[in-house]
Amino acid sequence: NAGVMQNPRHLVRRRGQEARLRCSPMKGHSHVYWYRQLPEEGLKFMVYLQKENIIDESGMPKERFSAEFPKEGPSILRIQQVVRGDSAAYFCASSPGLNQPQHFGDGTRLSIL
Amino acid sequence: AQRVTQPEKLLSVFKGAPVELKCNYSYSGSPELFWYVQYSRQRLQLLLRHISRESIKGFTADLNKGETSFHLKKPFAQEEDSAMYYCALSTSGSARQLTFGSGTQLTVLP
């Protein structure tokens, strides 16, 4: 089991471009969580998804950010019209069920020029 | 809203000395507490959770509801314990999102 796979590991975008971050959960895990970590801070919850459903997006910024977890394929965190403040490490975690521990990926480091 | 505080950003101890990483939380309900660890160049991994009451790699943590604390302790630190440690809280309810502290970088000196 390769664990939670995130790609790319590093992503550089210019202001105004779109960023797409992908997360493949561990085999057998149907719950996916996205977190954002700004420098010198802890991870902050963004969104929780199950297959084809957004369960809780209370941590997502109201504009430009969206997430999906389709029936087939990885979960995608999409940031439109990126700005400098979007520069951060974005972590994905997965779990097999609601009350099970979350397993984290290596993260995607997003840099905005 | 829930909150997790780790007051020490950096902590250094000598090998063989006891170590305690502090974690305080605020949450009005019944929380579930975790410690996650990130070794150099590795991903974040679960160290222990309070409901399992396990001892992992010699670390223990006791939930103190009166003091709203979940400090991580180890009686004899080893150099391989050097890492970033995050305390996290999960609330009751359907979301099960984790709220993290800002982390403590532990360095165990030879």
State pLDDT tens for residues B15-46.
999 999 999 999 888 888 999 999 998 899 99
pLDDT (0 to 100) of residue B93 = 59
Q: What is the tens place of the pLDDT at every residue in A12-65?
A: 999 999 999 999 999 989 999 999 999 888 899 999 999 889 999 999 998 999
State how far the Cα of B64 lies from the Cα of A43, in Å rounded to an integer. 23
Q: What is the tens place of the pLDDT at every residue in B85-106?
A: 999 998 765 457 899 999 999 9
More confident residue, B19 or A99: B19
A·B CB contacts under 8 A: 56
β-strand partners of A111: A12
pLDDT (0 to 100) of residue A20 = 98
pLDDT (0 to 100) of residue B2 = 86
Q: Which residues of A touch B101 (CB under 8 A)?
A: 42
User: Binning pLDDT at 50, 70 and 90, where does residue A110 land?
Assistant: very high
Flag whether pLDDT at A69 surpasses 70.
yes
A-proximal residues of B, 33-62, CB under 8 Å: 34, 36, 43-46, 49
Tokens of A29: 């895990």
Residue of B44, B57, B11 lying closest to A42 (CA atoms): B44
C-beta atoms of B43 and A104 within 8 A: yes
Flag whether pLDDT at A97 surpasses 90.
no
State how far the Cα of B27 lies from the Cα of B89, in Å rounded to an integer. 9
> What does the mean pLDDT of chain A come to?
93
How crowded is the C-beta side of B96, counted as CA atoms within 13 Å? 18
Report in angstroms the alpha-carbon separations of A17 from A8, A94, A107: 16, 28, 20
pLDDT (0 to 100) of residue B95 = 54
Interface of A with B (CB under 8 A): 3-4, 31, 33, 35, 40-45, 48, 55-56, 58-59, 91, 93, 95, 98-99, 101-107
Contact of B4 with B89, CB cutoff 8 Å: yes
For residue A85, give the 3-state DSSP assignment.
Answer: helix
Flag whether pLDDT at B53 surpasses 90.
no
